[in-house]
């Protein structure tokens, strides 16, 4: 029972982590980033690179976001900046970007699954149930990250300007806000968080070029449900993450992987606002 509860919590935390980068980019830029999954993959492959150079697997938590953020910083001015206001084309272009990144990864590392040295924290006993310490550690990591994001949005100049851009980017621009810079920062930040998510996923998933894809689909449907609200995202992650764990327990693993897409699609049909009040 305790194990099940912890499974629900950790799965939800991972969902939050994977989706929050997408949310920042969508909120700030109205851009639907289909390359999000590829950024997650890049973050995960940082562990392969770390292994090749004999670095500590802990460093991937920094290398992953750096690598993904750097790719985001290259892609934004080259592709995305030219597509503002053409939402449908951004879906296509970011998907193209995802193809390019995935192929580059495949060219460098091959198509197969990579053996990696991952962080191993052993197990810890929670109320009599042994549980993976690493999975547990994801919960405080996500809490810290979400508090940091909230603080940045509520307390800093970037957050204030960013919220102005969310509400009305045209007005913000006429008021002298450098919307271009806000968008660039947001895209790099969102990409870096995707990279972090990828690095965090390594000990729990096999590392291959399509690692990010199932996460992309889940993240996407959840972000449709929650709009740009991080609080709604927390609720949605908790609800859908728990649902996934419970479905996996009662049926098989295939229905577990399909649980989130199917639930999200049905929820969206019944209630277009999803978890957002209004």
Partner 1 sequence: MGGALLAVAALLASGPLLGDYDRSILVQGMLFAVAAVTVDILWGYTGVLSYAQSVFFGLGAYGLAIYSVEFGFSWTGAVIAIVLSAVAACVVALLLGLLSFHSKADWLYVATVTFAATFAFEKVILAGGSLTGSSSGLSGFVLQPVGIADGYRLSGLLLIAVTLGACLLVRSDAGRVMRAIRENEGRSQYLGIRVHRVKILLFAVAACVAAIAGSLYATTQNVVAPDLGGFQLGTAMVIWAAVGGRGTLLGPVGAAIGINHLNAYLSGSIPFLWQLVLGLVFVLVVTYAPGGAASLIGFPIRWLQSKLRVPGGSMPGGLLTVVPHMKAHEASARTTRPLLEVTDVSRSFGSFHAVKAVALAADGGEIVSIVGPNGAGKSTFMRCISDGGYRTSGSVRVAGSDIGRLTPDVISRLGVGQKFQTASVFASLSVFECLSVATRARRPSIWRRTSQLEIPAPAFEIIQMTGLDRLLHHTVSGLSHGQKQSLELAMVMCTEPRVILLDEPTAGLSQTERAAIGAVLRKIATDHLALLILVEHDLDFVQEISSRVLVLHHGELLMDGTVSEVVSSELVQEIYTGSPAGME
Binding of partner 1 at residue 113 (CB under 8 A)?
A: no
The answer to whether 94 touches 32, Cβ cutoff 8 Å, is yes
Q: Tell how strand 123-126 and strand 129-132 pair up.
A: antiparallel
What Cα–Cα distance (Å) separates residue 161 from each residue in 32, 144, 179, 223? 21, 23, 9, 22
Q: Rule CB under 8 A: choose which of 95, 131, 158, 235 binds partner 1.
A: 95
Span from 39-47, 59-67, 112-120, 255-263 in contact with partner 1 (CB under 8 A): 255-263
Binding of partner 1 at residue 239 (CB under 8 A)?
A: no
Nearer to partner 1, 139 or 268 (CB): 268
Binding of partner 1 at residue 217 (CB under 8 A)?
A: yes
Span from 8-16, 100-108, 112-120, 236-244 in contact with partner 1 (CB under 8 A): 100-108
Torsion sign (Cα): 51, 54, 60, 66:
negative
Span from 48-56, 164-172, 184-192, 256-264 in contact with partner 1 (CB under 8 A): 256-264
- Beta-bridged to residue 125, according to DSSP, are 130
Binding of partner 1 at residue 147 (CB under 8 A)?
A: no
Scanning residues 40 to 79, which ones bind partner 1 (CB under 8 A)? Answer: 79
Binding of partner 1 at residue 272 (CB under 8 A)?
A: yes
Binding of partner 1 at residue 263 (CB under 8 A)?
A: no
Binding of partner 1 at residue 87 (CB under 8 A)?
A: yes
Binding of partner 1 at residue 82 (CB under 8 A)?
A: yes
First to last CA, the chain: 35
Q: Which residues contact 247 (CB under 8 A, 6 or more apart)?
A: 255, 256, 259
The region, left, alpha or beta by phi > 0 then psi within -120 to 50, assigned to residue 84 is: beta
DSSP code, position 132: E
Q: For residues 219 and 213, what is the distance between their CA atoms, to the nearest angstrom?
A: 10
Smallest gap, in angstroms, from Cβ of residue 128 to partner 1?
Answer: 35
Binding of partner 1 at residue 130 (CB under 8 A)?
A: no
DSSP code, position 271: -
Smallest gap, in angstroms, from Cβ of residue 74 to partner 1?
Answer: 13
Q: For residues 232 and 252, what is the distance between their CA atoms, to the nearest angstrom?
A: 28
Binding of partner 1 at residue 167 (CB under 8 A)?
A: no
Question: Residues in the site for partner 1, rule: CB under 8 A?
Answer: 32, 79, 82-83, 86-89, 91-93, 95-97, 99-100, 103-104, 106-107, 111, 213-214, 217, 220-221, 224, 252, 254, 257-258, 261-262, 265-266, 268-269, 272, 278
């Amino acid at each position: 029972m305790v194990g099940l509860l912890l499974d629900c919590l950790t799965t939800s935390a991972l969902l939050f982590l994977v989706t929050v980068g997408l949310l920042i980019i969508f909120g700030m830029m109205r851009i639907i980033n289909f390359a999000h999954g590829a950024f997650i993959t890049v973050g995960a492959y940082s562990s392969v690179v770390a292994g090749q150079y004999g670095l500590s697997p802990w460093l991937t938590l920094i290398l992953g976001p750096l690598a993904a953020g750097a790719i985001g910083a290259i892609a934004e001015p080259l592709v995305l900046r030219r597509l503002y206001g053409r939402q449908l084309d951004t879906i296509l272009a970011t998907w193209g970007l995802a193809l390019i990144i995935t192929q580059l990864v495949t060219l460098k590392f091959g198509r197969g699954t990579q053996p990696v040295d991952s962080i191993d924290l052993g197990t810890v006993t929670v109320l009599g149930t042994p549980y993976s310490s690493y999975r547990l550690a994801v919960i405080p990591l996500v809490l810290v990250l979400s508090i940091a994001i909230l603080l940045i949005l509520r307390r800093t100049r970037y957050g204030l300007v960013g919220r102005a851009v969310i509400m009305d980017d045209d007005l913000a621009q006429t008021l002298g806000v450098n919307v271009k810079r806000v968008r660039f920062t947001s895209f790099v930040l969102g990409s870096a968080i995707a990279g972090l998510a990828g690095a965090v996923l390594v000990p729990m998933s096999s590392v291959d070029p399509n690692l990010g894809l199932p996460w992309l689909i889940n993240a996407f449907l959840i972000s449709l449900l929650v709009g740009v609200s991080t609080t709604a995202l927390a609720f949605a992650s908790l609800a859908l993450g728990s649902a996934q764990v419970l479905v996996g327990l009662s049926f098989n693993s295939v229905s577990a992987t399909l649980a989130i897409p199917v639930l999200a699609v049905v929820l969206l049909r019944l209630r277009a606002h999803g978890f957002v009040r209004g």
